[in-house]
Amino acid sequence: MEFKSKDIISIRDFSKEDLLYILDISKKFEKDYDSNLLNGHILATLFFEPSTRTRLSFSSAMSRLGGKVIGFDNPASTSVSKGESLLDTIKIVEGYSDIIVMRHPIDGAARFAAETAKIPIINAGDGVNQHPTQTLLDLYTIQKSFGKLENLNIGFVGDLKYGRTVHSLAHALSHFKAKMYFISPPQLKMPKDDLEQLDKEKIKYTEGKDLSKVANKLDILYMTRIQKERFPDPIEYQKLKGCYRIDKTFLENTKKGLKVMHPLPRVDELCSSCDGTEKAIYFEQAHNGVTVRMALLSLLLKKIKNERT
C-alpha cells in the first residue's frame, strides 16, 4: 500500500490511520536519517505572505536530507506583485522544482494550487483556513511527551475564534477521544461549526473564560496568541490582548505532568519565566517541526518504502 496523498492541504483529508502513519515515519526520522535521501530534489517555498519560522523549518528539513531549496518570501519583489495569477506562478514554478510549499493569504488557495499542479503541494497556511503541518507537529509533540495520543485532557487558551491551529488540532484529536477545555473571552469563542463537529464525534468539551477553574484537570495547556491583525477595531484588541498570561508562578500551582504548548510566535500570553521549566515544551515543539517536515517531504517525493499493510 502506498501513501495515497499527492499533497498535504488540510487535516480533514487524513484518517486516523494516515495521521498515525505520518507520526510513525517521523519517529524514524528522529532516530536516524539518510542525509542524501533527497539529493537531486528541489523544494520551492512560495510564501505569498511572510512566515520566517515556517519557511526556515521546511528549508532546514529539505537541507538535512540533501535537497536544495529555492523560493521567495517577499512577494513584493516578484512578478506576483505585478499581478501574476496564482495559477501562472504555480505553472511556472512546477517546472523549476519537484515539490512546492506555499503560504497564501487567501482561504482555499492551496487546494486550488494543488488541483492545478502536477507536483506535490504542501500547504503552509492558507489564510485563516488550514496549516496542516503545524497540526502534525503538534500531534507528534504530544505523542512524544505522553507516549500516547488517546484520552488526554487538553485546554486551548486564547483566540479560539480565528486560531486555525486550534481548530485543526481539535479536529485531529477528536480521532483520539481527547477531552477538550476551550478557554477564551466570549468574543473569541470556538466557531459553532467546529463545536458541532465535535458533537458529531461525541467528544466531551467545556467552554469558559476562566483558566484557573480548569487548569488542574489538564494534561496539555495549548496557549495561543491573540492576533492583532484579526481585529478591525484596535480598541477591541487592546481590551483582549492581555486577558491570559501564564508565568512560572502559575505553572507551579498546576498538575505535575502538565505540558505547555504554543505554536509561536508568542506575545505576552506566555511569560519567558516559564521557559526553563520542565512543563514548557514549546521550543521542542518547534524543533519537532523539522523532523515531521522531513518525513512529509520524503513521503510525498516517494522516498519512503511503504511498510503499511
Residues lying near other proteins in the complex (CB under 8 A) are found at: 10, 12, 85-87, 105-109, 111-112, 126-130, 193
Nearer CB in complex with other proteins: 169/274: 169
- Min separation Cβ 202 and other proteins, Å: 17
The helix/strand/coil state of 255 is coil
- Min separation Cβ 94 and other proteins, Å: 17
Nearer CB in complex with other proteins: 110/294: 110
Nearer CB in complex with other proteins: 3/112: 112
Nearer CB in complex with other proteins: 130/145: 130
Asked whether the beta carbons of 303 and 67 are under 8 A apart, the reply is no
- Min separation Cβ 128 and other proteins, Å: 7
Place of cell 499533497: 7
Contacts of 25 (CB under 8 A, 6+ apart): 295, 298, 299, 304
- Min separation Cβ 191 and other proteins, Å: 8
- Min separation Cβ 111 and other proteins, Å: 5
Helix ranges (DSSP H) in 190-247: 192-200, 211-214, 234-240
CB atoms within 10 A of CB 113: 25
Nearer CB in complex with other proteins: 7/126: 126
Burial of 230 (0-12, 13-18, 19+ CB in 10 A): middle
Grid coordinates of 215: 487548569
> If you count them, how many residues does the chain have?
309
Angle between helices 282-300 and 132-146 (to 10 degrees): 120
Nearer CB in complex with other proteins: 109/251: 109
- Min separation Cβ 8 and other proteins, Å: 15
CA distance 41 to 54: 20
- Min separation Cβ 103 and other proteins, Å: 14
Nearer CB in complex with other proteins: 10/59: 10
The helix/strand/coil state of 78 is coil
The helix/strand/coil state of 170 is helix
Place of cell 478557554: 183
CB atoms within 10 A of CB 194: 20
Which residues on neighbouring strands pair with residue 43, listed in sequence order? 69, 99
